[in-house]
Amino acid sequence: MKQRTIKKPVEVVGIGLHKGVPVKLRLEPLSDDSGIIFYRSDKGVGIPLKPEYVVDTKMATVLGNKEAVVSTIEHLMSAVYAFGIDNLRIVLDNDEVPIMDGSAISFVMMLKEAGIEELNAPKKFLRVKKEVKIEDGEKFAVLKPSNEIRFNFEINFNHPVIGNQKYDFKFSTKNYIEEISKARTFGFLKEVQYLRSIGLALGGSLENAIVLDDKGILNDSLRFPDEFVRHKILDAIGDMSLLGHNFIGSYEAFASGHHLNHLLTKKAFAENAFEIVEFSPKEELSIVKAFG
């Protein structure tokens, strides 16, 4: 299997979730072994997709250096990861990736429009070779060795619409598009009101998030009965993209979020929990087939 990029540039304009300002997002191809680079065109600054560049995980996964930041990368990176893209330049003219409809389906459509280009260098995977776990009270996130790529998530909210939800997702690009990519981010009305009072969530609306009050949802309907836990998997896939390569293993979590996911990637590298593997075209493996 070869490394991947996109065939042609594509761009879109959307609204940033927190500042509520228009953002132009452009995806551009890159050559072998370039990795994924965020580029702030308004500042002329590039930021690599690496755990050491994560500067905030409170409300979203945020990359940055001394000159610039890029916020809310997880939905876009979830789609990029799902298509097995290794090399990509992500150009933004502001500090947030646009929220679109609160899911990853718009980014899936962008990648389909751009097309996938196979390069010359072999694709590298990170195979989980030993268990790594991060805990915070009852919350946890763990990576375990496995011969497949799997995301198993559980949430438990004291809310009549959410409650306890579990989802065991066997990864493939096709499954991702059908089962995960359309699941929207969600938030509670009282939290949204507080965030706006401190200058955040200014771009949030019923058009780009599921909003809940104490009794139900304010939107017309859900896309899946368990859309909430599916979105948590969408976020987790985006956060695991910080590993730098698609991984082979099992991710499991209870009530995890961006912060625990970030600590998990850092611990996995610190404990040398991976080995780098490549697959030749002759190897008919389920891992290779999962990416189409």
Other Cβ atoms less than 10 A from the Cβ of 173: the count is 20
Catalytic residue among 18, 245, 258, 262: 258
Q: Give the integer Cα–Cα distance in Å for 215 and 127.
A: 43
DSSP 209: S
CATH of 2-123, one of 3.50.50.60, 2.60.120.10, 2.40.390.10, 3.30.230.20: 3.30.230.20
pLDDT tens column, 107-165? 999 999 999 999 999 999 999 999 999 999 999 999 999 999 999 999 999 999 999 99
Q: What is the pTM of this model?
A: 0.95
Using CB atoms within 10 Å of the CB of residue 187, give its burial: 0 to 12 exposed, 13 to 18 middle, 19+ buried: middle
pLDDT at 274: 96
CATH superfamily assigned to domain 126-277 = lpxc deacetylase, domain 2 (3.30.1700.10)
pLDDT at 29: 98
Residue type, 277: V
List every span in the chain annotated with CATH 3.30.1700.10. 126-277
Report yes or no: 118 and 281 within 8 Å, Cβ to Cβ.
Answer: no
- Is 258 one of the catalytic residues? yes
What angle do helix axes 74-82 and 105-114 make, rounded to 10 degrees?
50
Give the closest residue to 159 by CA, choosing from 185, 186, 139, 136.
186
> 3-state SS of the chain?
CEEEEECCCEEEEEECCCCCCEEEEEEEECCCCCCEEEEECCCCEEEECCHHHEEECCCCCEEECCCCEEECCHHHHHHHHHCCCCCEEEEECCCECCCCCCCCHHHHHHHHHHCEEEEEEECCEEEECCCEEEEECCEEEEEECCCCEEEEEEEEECCCCCEEEEEEEECCHHHHHHHHCCCCCEEEHHHHHHHHHCCCCCCCCCCCCEEECCCCECCCCCCCCCHHHHHHHHHHHHHHHHHCCCEEEEEEEECCCHHHHHHHHHHHHHCCCEEEECCCCCCCCHHHHHCC
pLDDT tens column, 6-42? 999 999 999 988 778 899 999 999 999 999 999 999 9
pLDDT at 200: 65
pLDDT at 196: 74
Q: Which has the minimum average pLDDT: 70-84, 194-208, 239-253?
A: 194-208
Give the closest residue to 175 by CA, choosing from 144, 146, 138, 149.
149
**Is the pLDDT at 237 greater than 70, yes or no?**
yes
pLDDT tens column, 169-228? 999 999 999 999 999 999 888 887 777 777 666 777 888 999 999 999 999 899 999 999
pLDDT at 17: 83
